[in-house]
Structure 1
Amino acid sequence: MTASAPPAAAESAAPAAPPAGGRRLVRRPSWLVAAGVLSVGLPPGSEVIGDGMQVTAGDVAGAVLVLVATLLLVAGRVAMPRAALLAFGPLVAALGISTVCSADIASSLPGFVRDMQIFVLVPLAVVLLVRDRWDFAIVCSSVLVLGFWEAGVGIWQSATGNGASMGGAYIRAVGTFGAGNVMGMSVVVGIAFLTLTAFALFARAWGFGAVVVAVGGLGVLGVALAASLSRGTWIALGAAAVLALVLFDRWTAVKVLACCASLLLVVVAGGGVGGGAQAVVERSESMAGSISEPDQSVDDRYSLWAAAVRIWEDNPGTGVGVKNFPAFRDAYAGIELSSGSETDDPVHGYARQPLLSPHSEYLLFLSEQGMVGFAGFAALVGVMVGGLWRRRGVRDPFWFVSVGLLTFLLVNFLYADLGGATCALVAIVLGVVASRAFGAVR
Structure 2
Amino acid sequence: MTAHAPALRLAGSLPRRPSWLIAAAVAAVGVPPGAEAFGPGVQVTMGDVAGGALVLVAAFLLVTGRVQMPRRALPAFGPLIAALGVSTVLSTDIESSVAGFVRDLQIFVLVPLAVVLLVRERRDLAIVCSSVLGLGLVEAVYGIWQAVTGNGASMGGQNIRAVGTFGSLDVMAMSIVAGFAFLVLTAFALSAPGRGVAAVPAALAGLVVLAAALALALSRGTWIALGTAAVLTLVIFDRWTAVKVLACCGALLLVFAGVAGGGGQAVVERSKSMVSTIGHPDQSVHDRYALWAAAVRIWEDHPVAGVGVKNFPAYRDTYATIELSSGSETADPVNGYVRQPLLSPHNEYLLFLSEQGVVGFAGFATLLAMIVAGLWTRRRVRDPFWLAAVALTVFLLVNFLYADMGGPTCALTAIVLGITASRALGEVRP
TM range (shorter): over 0.9
Conservation of the 8 A alpha-carbon contact between 1:391 and 1:439: no
Match of 2:248 among 241, 259, 284: 259
* 2:5 aligned partner: none
1:169 corresponds to 2:158 = yes
* 2:345 aligned partner: 358
Conservation of the 8 A alpha-carbon contact between 1:174 and 1:182: yes
Q: CA-to-partner distance for each residue in 1:250-285, whole Å, 9 max, x for gaps?
A: 0000110111111111111123xx210100000000
Conservation of the 8 A alpha-carbon contact between 2:37 and 2:407: no
Structure 2, unmatched stretches of 5+, are: 1-11
Q: CA-to-partner distance for each residue in 1:338-389, whole Å, 9 max, x for gaps?
A: 0000000000000000000000000000000000000000000011111111
Shift of 1:49: 10
Shift of 1:46: 4.7
Q: CA-to-partner distance for each residue in 1:49-89, whole Å, 9 max, x for gaps?
A: 99522110000001100000000000000000011101100
* 2:184 aligned partner: 195
* 1:180 aligned partner: 169
How does 1:73-92 map onto structure 2 within 5 Å?
73-92=62-81
Q: Which runs of 4+ in 1 moved over 6 A?
A: none
* 2:398 aligned partner: 411
TM-score between the two structures when normalised by the length of structure 1 = 0.93
1:378 corresponds to 2:373 = no
Q: CA-to-partner distance for each residue in 1:125-153, whole Å, 9 max, x for gaps?
A: 00000111000000011111101110011
1:276 corresponds to 2:242 = no
- Measure, in 1, the Cα distance between the counterparts of 2:338 and 2:411: 24
Shift of 1:441: 2.2
Match of 2:388 among 381, 389, 401: 401
Conservation of the 8 A alpha-carbon contact between 1:357 and 1:364: yes
Give the 3 Å change call, closer, same or farther, for CA 281–51 of structure 1 in structure 2.
closer
* 1:228 aligned partner: 217
- Measure, in 1, the Cα distance between the counterparts of 2:216 and 2:115: 32
1:426 corresponds to 2:413 = yes
Match of 2:326 among 339, 364, 367: 339
Structure 1, unmatched stretches of 5+, are: 1-22
Q: Which amino acid aligns with 2:89?
A: V
Match of 2:16 among 8, 15, 27: 27
* 2:52 aligned partner: 63
Conservation of the 8 A alpha-carbon contact between 1:65 and 1:125: yes
Count of equivalent residues: 418
How does 1:5-16 map onto structure 2 within 5 Å?
none
* 2:89 aligned partner: 100
Q: CA-to-partner distance for each residue in 1:179-230, whole Å, 9 max, x for gaps?
A: 0000000000000000000010011112331110011110010000001001
- Measure, in 2, the Cα distance between the counterparts of 1:49 and 1:394: 40
* 1:317 aligned partner: 304
Give the 3 Å change call, closer, same or farther, for CA 45–345 of structure 1 in structure 2.
closer
* 1:143 aligned partner: 132
- Measure, in 1, the Cα distance between the counterparts of 2:181 and 2:38: 30
* 2:4 aligned partner: none
- Measure, in 2, the Cα distance between the counterparts of 1:73 and 1:158: 46
Conservation of the 8 A alpha-carbon contact between 2:229 and 2:391: yes
- Measure, in 1, the Cα distance between the counterparts of 2:18 and 2:112: 14
Conservation of the 8 A alpha-carbon contact between 2:38 and 2:407: no
Q: Which amino acid aligns with 2:212?
A: V
Conservation of the 8 A alpha-carbon contact between 2:393 and 2:420: yes
Could you say what secondary structure the match of 1:344 adopts?
A: strand
How does 1:241-260 map onto structure 2 within 5 Å?
241-260=230-249
Give the 3 Å change call, closer, same or farther, for CA 297–373 of structure 1 in structure 2.
same
CA root-mean-square deviation? 1.5
Conservation of the 8 A alpha-carbon contact between 1:49 and 1:55: no
